[in-house]
Amino acid sequence: MKVTRSISLAASGDNGLGLTHPLDCNAWLIDSGEGLILVDAGVNLDNLRIEEEIAADGYRLSDIRYLVVTHAHADHAAGVPHFLRRTGARLVADAHEAGVLGDQPLLDRTMAEYIEAGLYPEGFSFPGAPAGQIVRDGERLRLGRLELTCLVLPGHTGGGLCLYGRVDGKQVLFAGDVLFFGGRINLLSTFDSDLLRYRESILRLEGLSVDALFPGHLQPVLNRADRVVRKAADGFRSFSIPPTLL
């Protein structure tokens, strides 16, 4: 579903616009004019629906050059091996998340806990994948007319890769599960979620000008997204915890 001239929503579950499988995250497709960047890959339970969405917007899977995974949670990354196979794209991740994605025993262990908790269906598996490119904080990702800055913003997880830059004349942030509509965050009691690192990440975002926010869940914010950043930062600045997603 086209959201702006160059940005499409390729997937979105019930914690969002409900476009594709209920457990999918928001997956964003960015058109550089010379190839596409797919941000996150969904939960791997209905890849065909996502492929249909991409085709409905007039795009070809073979034009996806980069698959950027924001973090190694199943709703964002279990579909990675499928979309790597289908596109030939290069998998881009930060070092921490690449480490988790490459550690199948760790993925199996954490998935068993999530299934036990009823968050994923019985028999669900999260296949890992090796990253083709590990990016550092501040590194640029260039494709066609796009130049996006990679921001590693830990807190929701130990890594957390966000993309920031100019798209369609606006300063946009692809935020993964770091920040959402309404100034919400997504703090978890999992092995690599961290409140104080989260605080640092959100306060750091305040130093950027953000017009539009494309998050991993809920709806996007197409203008005045600075206010969303400020709301979360205000919560941390008063030594409180901003409202969380779940």
Q: Which residues bind Fe ion (CB under 5 A)?
A: 73, 177
Give me the least distance between CB of 91 and Fe ion, in Å please. Answer: 17
Give me the least distance between CB of 188 and Fe ion, in Å please. Answer: 8
**Helical (H) or strand (E) element with 5:** none
Give me the least distance between CB of 20 and Fe ion, in Å please. Answer: 17
How far, in Å, are 91, 209, 227, 238, 243 from residue 234 at the CA level?
35, 16, 10, 6, 11
Cα pseudo-dihedral 73, 75, 78, 84, rounded to 10? -110
Give me the least distance between CB of 156 and Fe ion, in Å please. Answer: 6
Nearer to Fe ion by C-beta: 146 or 245? 245
Nearer to Fe ion by C-beta: 37 or 43? 43
Relative to beta strand 212-215, strand 170-176 is parallel
Nearer to Fe ion by C-beta: 4 or 190? 190
Nearer to Fe ion by C-beta: 77 or 89? 77
Greatest CA separation for the chain: 48
Give me the least distance between CB of 60 and Fe ion, in Å please. Answer: 28
Nearer to Fe ion by C-beta: 39 or 146? 39
Rounded to whole angstroms, how far apart are CA atoms 156 and 179?
9
Nearer to Fe ion by C-beta: 65 or 217? 217
Give me the least distance between CB of 169 and Fe ion, in Å please. Answer: 30
Cα pseudo-dihedral 153, 54, 6, 130, rounded to 10? 30
Burial class (CB in 10 A: 0-12, 13-18, 19+), 63: middle
Across the beta sheet with 146-152, the strand order is 140-143, 146-152, 161-167, 170-176, 212-215
Relative to beta strand 161-167, strand 170-176 is antiparallel
